[in-house]
Amino acid sequence: MKKVFLILSLVTVSASVFAQVKKTSSATVSFDATTPKDALPKADNKTVVGELNTKNGQIGFEATVKNFAFTNEMIQDHFNGEKWLNSAKFPTFTFVGKLSDLSKVKFDKPGTYTVPVSGELTVKDVTKPVNTNATIEVVAGGAIKTSASFTIKLADYGITGAPIDAGKIATEPKITVSAELK
């Protein structure tokens, strides 16, 4: 009887340890650099991996640059080219951060919570701080939906080019991240 109790205790503890990290391989990152001159420079990447540790608030995402899909093939080529994200040399970008006030989120109770998140975005081996608010929705059954938006300055990451200079691409595009983590 003691062995059964010990095994059940270990399984319960193990399950709770593993349950603290929620993951996905189908998060979405949207890139919106539209301007009044051009509505086409927007793309989605729906194959982003991400995870959230519900115990310590650590959160991270990694996106493959080539998986951003634009409707315009020329913009797609520019996006992956040397002057932009140079996906041949820098195939991914990452965000590593932390929910700043984890006590605001009740991961054991369905509901929607808004919390500050801070971290670092690395693009083309350039790392810059990002601070924004994230919406965390705890769904019945244990899933967690997250979303956040922020802007970046392309020049900060060494992203330049004639379309940007001509005003066809926003110098500060909006980045939106959304995920359902399980």
Q: Is residue 8 a part of any domain in this protein?
A: no
Q: Is residue 1 a part of any domain in this protein?
A: no
Q: Is the pLDDT of residue 58 over 90?
A: yes
Q: Which domain CATH number covers 38?
A: 2.40.128.110
Residues in CB range of 38: below 8 A, 6 or more apart: 163, 168, 169
Q: Is residue 100 a part of any domain in this protein?
A: yes
What is the separation, in whole angstroms, between the first and last Cα of the chain?
34
- Residue 5 — very low, low, confident or very high, per pLDDT cuts 50/70/90? very low
- Containing domain of residue 118, as a range? 20-181
Total domains in the fold of the chain? 1
Instruction: Give pTM, 2 decimals.
Output: 0.87
What pLDDT sits at residue 19? 58
Q: Is residue 136 a part of any domain in this protein?
A: yes
Q: Is residue 99 a part of any domain in this protein?
A: yes
Q: Is residue 133 a part of any domain in this protein?
A: yes
Average pLDDT over residues 45-69: 97
Q: Is residue 13 a part of any domain in this protein?
A: no
What pLDDT sits at residue 10? 39
Q: Is residue 30 a part of any domain in this protein?
A: yes
